[in-house]
Amino acid sequence: MKKRLLFQVLLPLVAVLLVFAGCKDDNGDPEAPAGKLVFNFHHTVDGAAVTFDSAGYVNEAGNVYEVNEIQYFISDVTLHRTDGGKVVLDKENDIYYIDTDIPATKRWQVFDAIPEGSYTSITFTFGISEQKNKSFMFVNPPEVNMVWPEFLGGGYHYLKLNGKFEEEIGGTVYLRPFNYHMGIGQIYDPPTTTHPDSIVGFAQNYFEVELPNSGFTIAKDQTVEIDVIMQVEEWFKNPNIWDHHYWGNFTMQNQAAMQAMKENGEHVFIVGEIK
């Protein structure tokens, strides 16, 4: 009787152990030869590093503007191997925050060991996917400061690009602020209102970026550094010409604006030096 009872207790445990033994880490054998990866984030306008808080940039619509700060999330960074496999960077940071006011965030020393070999490209999600973008998952600054209002869908901003643009009124030129912010969008009924009680649905505005010319090779114990460049002018350029006078000071609660931003964002990132 005791033997039968012991068998009944041990059988489910053995089954669980066999399941775990049969699982394979998509990122490969942790004992396999591996190197390390570092991302350096840069922000440019027309090929030159952004000069913050200085008016003088001109976008495709002819708006004179300045950039004050840029804050954003990327997530689910994935390395695509030449053999068709992939490595998802999620051992420590599957969601990474970059802030132009915090130099340390512009250099990401990836925790994951990168299996040696050749990789054809790098992709990532700009923002945070619907499955992961949950309210209150960040409790400390600076990430907590990216919170997106609960009544607008919750979670966090994907992007805050804050600046100012020139507007002439009665012969006098004024600098007006703009908050180019992206996150979860709202569907209103009727569409002419932005009252919270009129929200009938939400739109997910995160999108996938495939970094052009991002292939690299890594060897055992090698550290590869990749410069990722945000071309700020592209947010206002391609395929939608962005006119600050038309869109106004802010984009929250304006899904049409965020859809245009999302489409432009697909052309924003390029790769600089790989070393």
Would you say residue 86 lies in a domain? yes
Segments forming the whole domain that contains residue 84 = 35-274
Would you say residue 60 lies in a domain? yes
205: pLDDT confidence band, cut at 50, 70 and 90? very high
Check pLDDT > 60 for residue 6: no
Would you say residue 11 lies in a domain? no
Would you say residue 21 lies in a domain? no
Would you say residue 23 lies in a domain? no
Would you say residue 29 lies in a domain? no
Would you say residue 2 lies in a domain? no
The DSSP line for the chain is: -HHHHHHHHHHHHHHHHHHHHH---TT--TTS-EEEEEEEEEEEETTEE--TT---EE-TT--EEEEEEEEEEEEEEEEEETTS-EEE--SS-SEEEEETT-GGGGEEE--S-EESEEEEEEEEEES--TTT--TTS--STTGGGGB--GGGT-SB-SEEEEEEEEEEETTEEEEEEEEEEES-EEEESSTT---GGGEEEEE---EEEEETT--EEE-TT-EEEEEEEEEGGGGGTSSS---HHHH-SB-TT-HHHHHHHHHHHTTTEEEEEE-
Would you say residue 1 lies in a domain? no
User: What's the pLDDT tens digit per position in 143-184?
Assistant: 999 999 999 999 999 999 999 999 999 989 999 999 999 999
Top pLDDT among 6 and 200 is at 200
- If one counts the domains in the chain, the total is 1
Q: Is the pTM of this model over 0.85?
A: yes
Identify the pLDDT of residue 17: 40
Identify the pLDDT of residue 12: 44
Check pLDDT > 80 for residue 110: yes
